[in-house]
Amino acid sequence: MLVRAALTRPRLAAVIHRLPPERRRGRPWSCSLARRILVVCAALRTNLTIRELAASFAISKSAVHRILSTMTPRLTALGAQRRPDDRRESWVVDGTLIPTRDHRRAARSKNYRWSCNAQILIRRRDLRIVATTAGGPGNRNDPVHYRGSSIEARCRQHGRVLADGGYRGIPELVTPMADVSRQPDSARPSLASTSSTSSPRRARDRSAQELADLARSSPSWRASRRYSSGGHLLTQPPTRRITGQPLALRALVPVLVTARLGA
């Protein structure tokens, strides 16, 4: 159950310690406080239905509904008590898809469901939520929902916000850069392509010259046709005809016919 709720035992104990005591009225809960917290966290994280949650935790559907209706506001208020605003700590922003039945705001997304995009800003040290925005269609990229939101204003004011590669091009976010040392030698830019004396025209001329040499030396007609399709003419014909017949056999045909008649 801890895995489904994405909690560890120390985190669960911290949440239980921070929760204010609840009012005791009516029939007491059959489930413990820790189990109710796990039910709520699993429901918010996996978006399972009430029937699936009841089968997972071996409780009734009505008990799951009562737990979600009472514990969700308490956990929400717990997270909204103190918002971290220390600029010395790093934040992380990312987007997630939340399935919803409201097709007026949602759209078919890459999770194959009608979903809305939610932008979440957290503190890197302890994953504490700083701010959230949601409501846009899930078939748009994360930067589309990020721009113009309240999270963008917070990130510009903070200045130390991390993001993944989907947010590249946004100046106030720190996105990962490609590590050139891990790239293979074929993918690294050569000195000829990065020098100031090289130009695209010289690169095209060099490739055309290599293609011409290949057309002259290759016995296949495909190389010559590939070169001639670019509007170039070979100064020396290829070693074979387009039909694939060697030129030497064509020159030997009259000699063989004369020898046959003379015999």
For the stretch 67-86, pLDDT in tens is: 999 998 888 887 666 667 77
**Spatial separation of the C-alpha atoms in residues 138 and 228, rounded to whole Å:** 49
The reply to whether 65 and 115 lie within a common domain is no
The reply to whether 97 and 138 lie within a common domain is yes
Q: What global pTM score does this model have? A: 0.56
Task: For residue 194, tell me if it sits in a domain.
Answer: no
pLDDT of 229 higher than 60: no
Residue, of 180 and 34, whose pLDDT is higher: 34
Average pLDDT along the chain: 76
The reply to whether 239 and 164 lie within a common domain is no
The reply to whether 67 and 138 lie within a common domain is no
Task: For residue 193, tell me if it sits in a domain.
Answer: no
pLDDT of 132 higher than 80: yes
Min mean pLDDT across 40-44, 108-112, 195-199, 250-254 is at 195-199
Range of the domain at 97: 91-174
42-55 b/e (C-beta count within 10 Å ≥ 16 → b): bbbeeebebeebbe
Residue, of 8 and 259, whose pLDDT is higher: 8
Task: For residue 254, tell me if it sits in a domain.
Answer: no
The reply to whether 111 and 161 lie within a common domain is yes
The reply to whether 124 and 61 lie within a common domain is no
Residue, of 216 and 93, whose pLDDT is higher: 93
The reply to whether 46 and 119 lie within a common domain is no
The reply to whether 54 and 102 lie within a common domain is no
What average pLDDT does range 158-169 have in this prediction? 90
**Spatial separation of the C-alpha atoms in residues 180 and 165, rounded to whole Å:** 16
Task: For residue 40, tell me if it sits in a domain.
Answer: yes
The reply to whether 144 and 164 lie within a common domain is yes
Angle (deg, nearest 10), helices 9-18 and 61-79: 80
The reply to whether 110 and 142 lie within a common domain is yes
What average pLDDT does range 8-23 have in this prediction? 87
Residues 6+ away with beta carbon under 8 Å from 215: 223, 224, 226, 227, 228, 234, 238
How many domains does the structure of the chain reveal? Answer: 3
For the stretch 165-178, pLDDT in tens is: 999 889 999 998 76
Residues 6+ away with beta carbon under 8 Å from 230: 208, 211
pLDDT of 32 higher than 60: yes
Q: Which of 175, 131, 177 is CA-nearest to residue 152? A: 131
**Spatial separation of the C-alpha atoms in residues 96 and 118, rounded to whole Å:** 5
